[in-house]
A and B are shown apart, each in its own frame.
Chain A
């Protein structure tokens, strides 16, 4: 051959080889890159919480001689750069003053120990000149109930407003806003006072009086008939029904639910109506060993109660509905520390709690996941602590009047393997449950319902699609005449070209309502079609000796059987109405009514059957096409050899063709499975998308893919939901990747095993 031609051929060969290699490598790299990308978004979910001491300073000398009653801190994260964080702490001293300290510059540990240039400013509570503070209680982040030495009480909000001047420098404006004030009452000085200002103007003040009495004052303002503002105070003193000496009190944000913890390990709950009348009272002997309840706080959401006890344990209690009655029940046990719990401080954004125990150790726990997030150490025993409303910082006053500030980095405390994949007892639920619900105060991120939904969709779809596709493939490749095979196969493959949004649309608007109307007929058809079929076969025995019947038996069976099936379906439709009326005569003659009575769940129009049909429609062409190919690839000589040994067509099919093609069929089913798992549009449109955990075919579900599609528009970038959705994507990716890998491995085996034919 001509040298030039050889060189040209070789050059083309090389180019082709390089192009193909490059393409392959590029695909692998991009797939890996996508995986790395989505995994990297999910990783922060599992990063362990971190804390960092950003400041350790002595209290400014100016007020170091005054007793510190409470501490507070507020951290506002601006952007990604920690340097721009705003970090303001404040100290509440006995003289009724709030001293604000700016820790914003202290974002690096190098600043630890530097007392200098810690700017501070002090604000006094208006009208507090001649009084001192007896008791301070903090709730809702920056709100303080203050009980003064003269017996008066006030509710004060410490407002911190960041300000930017022209040069873009930020400063924080501090202000104390009094929301409500109650004048001193006659009688002995109260020991504690809890004030709440509810939306709508009602203010509640609960005071603990000496002699183990509680006084509740509810101030309601409304407009009278003349259009004037009118304030009414409802007063009530509680002396009865208190199970022991009260150690701690907690009041919810509306002021309508009051909890008390006693010296002898009991919890008492009172519920008031708008006028302060007691509508519910319950005493729960919470601890069998009668350990004292030393601290109470409402967990974020105002439904659960955090209880600190003399053993250093923090437990969370909530009202659980049992039939008609509601009962306060233990829901969660959090981490345990030393001695008695002195203080419990809730976060205002998430259900995390900061607790300070008698040994001066600060612990951070997440309630729902019962997860101990952190133990804040490195500052010796702490006397008083403060917790940022956003849960992202803490402040403590240690021995030697040392003020310590921690930055806490734990953006996703509610997520752990246990909450993602395990049962969680959410407040308001009677039992621990797998729950996906992203709206509401406490997002519930159990992936179990969506993974279950994915499997449910896939299994129902496969139950529908696999038999049809495989029987079709066997018939087309082995029984029908070559002419029909060359028509049927491309037609089925065209089904695959139908966009899934069109299928979903048709299911949603046309098929699901139709199915709802004919559901009984569908089930009747499962009996009538085989029945008619069987009758037909009996009749066929009579004519099969005839010449034309022989021809039909060689590849044209379906031409006769399609009318038979149609007849069976028609019979079902005709019989369904009377049958339904008769079968369900005690349920108004309605199947759906019966279903609801029996299962207590309604028939949903967008249900698993409808989806199975649509998803099956999308999957059938894939399974059909691949398995038909692998069946047709079995060499004809095998069929001939088997029949030459006296095997019938069925024996040959079962013993030779199917086993030989089984790896290919397996691969086909797996690839169909993979497609069904990842399919989004059909399930998104037709499955109703309720994340239920129920195998009933008459209700819907939510799949991983639809979950992403439904939730991602609502998910703030970088938030927990956003990352959990990416985790869904990772799971989906892994699932389809595994399925396809298994299918591919099997297919390679097939190629190796049958390569010699």
Chain B
């Protein structure tokens, strides 16, 4: 990032930006690619309206109103501590595990408010999968890791499990590497493979949305590339919301980008527009590396 002190309007290194610009606009039915239509996404899968979140007395998220387009990749960027992870955790209610969290506002998933206390969080979490920053394979075999979500849902039939495990591993681009050692411990794999096991594990329960919280920040560049490629392949089937503090990565993998700053949503728009023509001063400052 230090090398990219060019003009305020030319953010980041030239290479990823070119990559983004060369990328054809994603063709997904029902979603307008027109930057001017950014605020009015036609078929949003998740809508967050006036969301406030408090850790005890401190307000970590301030009045976030944001729609996530279906089957696209949306990146959440922003400086450390701005609330990206907190926001992401709101989407599958993982904040419930943390003491003293309070929210106001509404998050709708296909029209249903998921902040409702009577909502079945287990059902929600099956629909909204999550991949964490640090790869968290369970101390089980690769097979059992991927089958975990199915097993806890009560799937017992081996044929079903076998099929889904294979499909998930294939989708996670890991099948060829592990097909001969499915019953070895997952802990024996490399860091990049761990993360792909986690992705396969998330895919296995067939979610609609996959939340990824800085999935590559603990990985080496090669593994990062593989995960990014994987995200590219999953686009179109799943709605992916990815938190990253790496702007090139956001530019490379996402269709949409939201910029958060100090708990507030500053700007949201198609990735290429946000990176080339940011409309807010803070966005511009951030993507040009003035802070963060």
Q: Does chain A bind chain B? A: yes
Q: Does A538 contact B (CB under 8 A)?
A: no
Smallest CB gap from B194: residue in A:
A756
On chain A, the number of residues with a Cβ less than 8 Å from chain B's Cβ atoms is 25
Q: Which of B10-18, B34-42, B170-178, B198-206 participates in binding chain A?
A: B198-206
Could you give, for residues 84-105 of chain B, a 1 whenever the CB lies within 8 Å of some chain A CB and a 0 otherwise? 0000000010100101000000
Q: Does A417 contact B (CB under 8 A)?
A: no
Smallest CB gap from B148: residue in A:
A645
Contacting residue for A753 out of B132, B139, B205, CB 8 A: B139
- Asked if A554 and B198 make an inter-chain contact with CB atoms under 8 angstroms apart, the answer reads no
Smallest CB gap from A550: residue in B:
B117
Q: Which of B170-217 contact A (CB under 8 A)?
A: 187, 198, 201-202, 205
Min C-beta distance of A649 to chain B, whole Å: 9
- Asked if B94 and A640 make an inter-chain contact with CB atoms under 8 angstroms apart, the answer reads yes
- Asked if A645 and B132 make an inter-chain contact with CB atoms under 8 angstroms apart, the answer reads no
- Asked if A645 and B136 make an inter-chain contact with CB atoms under 8 angstroms apart, the answer reads no
Min C-beta distance of A436 to chain B, whole Å: 47
Q: Which of A95-103, A145-153, A654-662 participates in binding chain B?
A: A654-662
Q: Please give, as numbers and ranges, the residues of chain B lying within 8 Å of A659 by CB-CB distance.
A: 139-140
Q: Which of A707-757 contact B (CB under 8 A)?
A: 753-754, 756
- Asked if B94 and A643 make an inter-chain contact with CB atoms under 8 angstroms apart, the answer reads yes
Contacting residue for B97 out of A638, A643, A646, CB 8 A: A643
A638 to B186 alpha-carbon distance, docked (Å): 13
Q: Does A501 contact B (CB under 8 A)?
A: no
Min C-beta distance of B167 to chain A, whole Å: 17
Q: Does B130 contact A (CB under 8 A)?
A: yes
Contacting residue for A647 out of B123, B129, B139, B152, CB 8 A: B152
Q: Please give, as numbers and ranges, the residues of chain A lying within 8 Å of B205 by CB-CB distance.
A: 645-646
Min C-beta distance of A648 to chain B, whole Å: 6
Smallest CB gap from A654: residue in B:
B152
Q: Does B126 contact A (CB under 8 A)?
A: yes
Min C-beta distance of A253 to chain B, whole Å: 74
- Asked if A641 and B99 make an inter-chain contact with CB atoms under 8 angstroms apart, the answer reads no
Q: Which of A201-235 contact B (CB under 8 A)?
A: none
A655 to B130 alpha-carbon distance, docked (Å): 19
Could you give, for residues 104-148 of chain B, a 1 whenever the CB lies within 8 Å of some chain A CB and a 0 otherwise? 000000000000001000110110011010101011100000001
Known: A645-B202, A756-B187. A640 touches B139 (CB 8 A): no
Min C-beta distance of B258 to chain A, whole Å: 21
- Asked if A645 and B97 make an inter-chain contact with CB atoms under 8 angstroms apart, the answer reads no
Q: Does A21 contact B (CB under 8 A)?
A: no
- Asked if B139 and A754 make an inter-chain contact with CB atoms under 8 angstroms apart, the answer reads yes
Q: Please give, as numbers and ranges, the residues of chain B lying within 8 Å of A642 by CB-CB distance.
A: 138, 148, 152
- Asked if A638 and B138 make an inter-chain contact with CB atoms under 8 angstroms apart, the answer reads yes
A637 to B122 alpha-carbon distance, docked (Å): 18
Closest CB pairs A-B (n = 7): A644-B130, A641-B136, A645-B149, A646-B125, A646-B126, A637-B136, A647-B152
On chain B, the number of residues with a Cβ less than 8 Å from chain A's Cβ atoms is 27
Q: Does A481 contact B (CB under 8 A)?
A: yes
Q: Please give, as numbers and ranges, the residues of chain B lying within 8 Å of A64 by CB-CB distance.
A: none
- Asked if A646 and B99 make an inter-chain contact with CB atoms under 8 angstroms apart, the answer reads no
Q: Which of A498-555 contact B (CB under 8 A)?
A: 545, 554
- Asked if A644 and B94 make an inter-chain contact with CB atoms under 8 angstroms apart, the answer reads yes
Min C-beta distance of B89 to chain A, whole Å: 9
Q: Does A108 contact B (CB under 8 A)?
A: no
A216 to B161 alpha-carbon distance, docked (Å): 95
- Asked if B132 and A641 make an inter-chain contact with CB atoms under 8 angstroms apart, the answer reads yes
Q: Does A651 contact B (CB under 8 A)?
A: yes
Q: Does B153 contact A (CB under 8 A)?
A: yes
Q: Please give, as numbers and ranges, the residues of chain A lying within 8 Å of B148 by CB-CB distance.
A: 642, 645, 647, 655
A646 to B149 alpha-carbon distance, docked (Å): 7
A659 to B145 alpha-carbon distance, docked (Å): 13
- Asked if B122 and A646 make an inter-chain contact with CB atoms under 8 angstroms apart, the answer reads yes
Q: Please give, as numbers and ranges, the residues of chain B lying within 8 Å of A655 by CB-CB distance.
A: 148, 151-152
Contacting residue for B99 out of A481, A639, A651, A756, CB 8 A: A481
- Asked if B129 and A645 make an inter-chain contact with CB atoms under 8 angstroms apart, the answer reads yes
Min C-beta distance of A379 to chain B, whole Å: 73
Q: Please give, as numbers and ranges, the residues of chain B lying within 8 Å of A754 by CB-CB distance.
A: 139
A579 to B285 alpha-carbon distance, docked (Å): 81
A482 to B92 alpha-carbon distance, docked (Å): 24
